[in-house]
Structure 1
Amino acid sequence: MTTTNKDTKVVTGEIRLSYAHIFAPYAHEAGQDEKYSTAILIPKSDKTTLKKIKAAVEAAKEAGKAKFGGKIPANLKTPLRDGDEERPDQEEYAGHYFLNASSKTKPGVVDKQLNPIMDSEELYSGCYARVSINFYAFNTAGNKGIACGLNNVQKLRDGDYLGGRSRAEDDFDALDDDGEDDDFLG
């Protein structure tokens, strides 16, 4: 059976972005290739998206058999991880599965009406979106597994910033300009 991109591609339901590097590529460590990337937080209640991801990972395993010497290794690394188990110290991961998606090419980014989003401030760690991702096999330096490629992002709604950042509009009250020069030193 031939595996196609259709078999390994998933468009998620509503997810939350974390560690979002969507508008500029980023390398986690010096010397690594810079990539566009994000962690994708998938609610454990979203059975439809999880089922699609599991099917796409299985299709990627089948498509990658040649990279694995003709058979799927028993200890193959897979991208979907449990936030409750692996990130118990990060409350935004509670009740979620997560995976990391990346790409060397910039993903397309649109809003709910499919208008392109050009302002990098509009898409951030903490906002809610849908993503188009694809799964593929890798065999690099003895590491074998299934990776997740980032295709496109559709922002659905705002959410609290992750990592402690806040909006200026939320930090300050508007002040009246009374026209006086408050020179308290003079």
Structure 2
Amino acid sequence: MQNQNPTRVVTGEVRLSHAHVWEPNSIQGGKPKYSVSLIIPKSDTATIAAIEKAVDAATEAGIGKFGGKRPNKAALKLPLRDGDIEREDDAYQNAMFVNANSITAPQIVDENVAPILDRSEVYSGCYARVSLSFYAFNTNGNRGIACGLGNIQKTRDGEPLGDGHISAESDFGPATGGDDFLN
């Protein structure tokens, strides 16, 4: 079933990073939101083209927010960004990315569209298809196109991304049973 809304996109397979999809997260004291960074391989030209088209449609739909005329794209904050340029993290190399968020929880399903209830199943590093919606914003002098998070369909597991978290195991190593840490 294809959607008819030109500002909506269902991605091909992307990798989730900074996944706050189970609980809303507050960034810099803002309103808590569900959020995720989607890493899109540059080889997935269909998804990248669909996002670019949806951004254009959102820009057109948002002309009222931009003072009644279509702004130059260079003057807007755009959601599709180049991981090779903006991120040093290996996971973002040879990839584009978008940061999507929502105040409402996404539905999270498996390949058979059955709800995933086990929170450990969907994490930073796993692969999924994601529905997105793009919309214009003009707030306090910031103008651009934002990316709303829709639903998530996990497609497969992937190597977990640390997202800055270090495991207790790598901090402490296995317990040796001795008192050598006192020496």
| 1:5 CA displacement | 6.7
- Percent sequence identity over matched residues? 55
Q: Report if aligned partners of 1:128, 1:156 keep a CA contact under 8 Å in 2.
A: yes
Task: Give the SS at the match of 1:129.
Answer: strand
AA in 1 matched with 2:32:
E
- Name the CA distance, whole Å, in 1 between partners of 2:111 and 2:156: 8
| 1:60 CA displacement | 0.1
Whether 1:71 aligns to 2:69 is: yes
Aligned partner of 1:10 in structure 2 is: 9
Aligned partner of 2:35 in structure 1 is: 37
- Name the CA distance, whole Å, in 1 between partners of 2:83 and 2:11: 17
Aligned partner of 1:154 in structure 2 is: 153
Residues 14-36 of structure 1 deviation map (CA, whole Å, 9 limit, x = unaligned): 0000000001000122x211000
- Name the CA distance, whole Å, in 2 between partners of 1:76 and 1:65: 12
| 1:73 CA displacement | 2.1
Aligned partner of 2:84 in structure 1 is: 84
- Name the CA distance, whole Å, in 2 between partners of 1:45 and 1:165: 31
- Name the CA distance, whole Å, in 1 between partners of 2:60 and 2:112: 36
AA in 2 matched with 1:71:
K
- Name the CA distance, whole Å, in 2 between partners of 1:25 and 1:148: 16
TM-score, normalised via structure 2 length: 0.86
Aligned partner of 1:47 in structure 2 is: 45
Q: Report if aligned partners of 1:5, 1:134 keep a CA contact under 8 Å in 2.
A: no
AA in 1 matched with 2:61:
A
How many residues align? The count is: 166
- Name the CA distance, whole Å, in 2 between partners of 1:65 and 1:92: 35
AA in 1 matched with 2:154:
K
Gaps of at least 5 residues in structure 1 are 169-182
TM-score, normalised via structure 1 length: 0.84
Q: Report if aligned partners of 1:22, 1:38 keep a CA contact under 8 Å in 2.
A: yes
Task: Give the SS at the match of 2:55.
Answer: helix
Structural mapping, 1:1-186, within 5 Å: 6-29=5-28, 31-74=29-72, 75-87=75-87, 89-163=88-162
- Name the CA distance, whole Å, in 1 between partners of 2:122 and 2:112: 15
Task: Give the SS at the match of 2:27.
Answer: coil
Aligned partner of 2:181 in structure 1 is: none
- Name the CA distance, whole Å, in 1 between partners of 2:108 and 2:47: 20
| 1:165 CA displacement | 6.1
AA in 2 matched with 1:82:
D
Task: Give the SS at the match of 1:50.
Answer: helix
Moved over 6 A (4+): none
